[in-house]
Amino acid sequence: VYYLGVNVDYSADMFSAWLTGIYSGGSIDVADDYEADMGTDSYDVMGYLFAVGGSLNLDAISVHGQFFYATGDDDGLDDDEASDFFVPAGQSYYWAEIMGYGTFDDQVSNGSPGDAISNIMAFNVGVDLPMDSLTLTVDLWNASLIEGDDTDLGTEIDVAATYQLLDDLKLTVLAAYLSAGDATGDENPTELGAILSLSF
């Protein structure tokens, strides 16, 4: 299996932008003992990931956003093609607080691939509001699976307030709510937490 990737970053006084694209190809051999069960002796790998994002810095507000798309596989192991984007090791990208581990990386909502970005499309837009010693950050996320019977993971809102108590001490209070989609289930998960950070 091989990977071809490109990454572009650009920054200016008022804005910054980035783009990442990765294509995976090659083949995976099936062990002799499993060929009869799998119905093939190898799988052709054809997956890709595309992601783009940026931020716009104004005097009193900063706006940021991103979009990523990673292929899925519509028929699993029923044929000789593996089209879902997959990285054997080191595949970890934290994004939304509930759907993508976020700050409190304990668990994710049902159906979400979490930090393993595969078979998913997600869009984010957010704002940062700095106010003296307080910074308020609000993020809106919408995510869907690429393949599957139910694909809507839901829409999530994340709110974080960071207060600089002292020069080396800050408090962050975070709240998140997910309006669950069909791929997540009937419950609407919530998350609330706080972090006290000391730097020295």
142-167 pLDDT, tens digit each: 999 999 899 999 999 999 999 999 98
pLDDT score of 59 more than 90: no
The pLDDT of residue 76: 65
**pTM attached to this predicted model:** 0.90
pLDDT score of 81 more than 80: yes
Alpha carbon of residue 138 to chain centroid: 16
Q: Are strands 62-70 and 81-82 parallel, antiparallel or unpaired?
A: unpaired
pLDDT, one tens digit per residue, over 110-147 is: 999 999 999 999 999 999 999 989 999 999 999 999 99
Alpha carbon of residue 155 to chain centroid: 13
- Exposed/middle/buried for residue 108 (C-beta within 10 Å: 0-12, 13-18, 19+): buried
3-state secondary structure of 51: strand
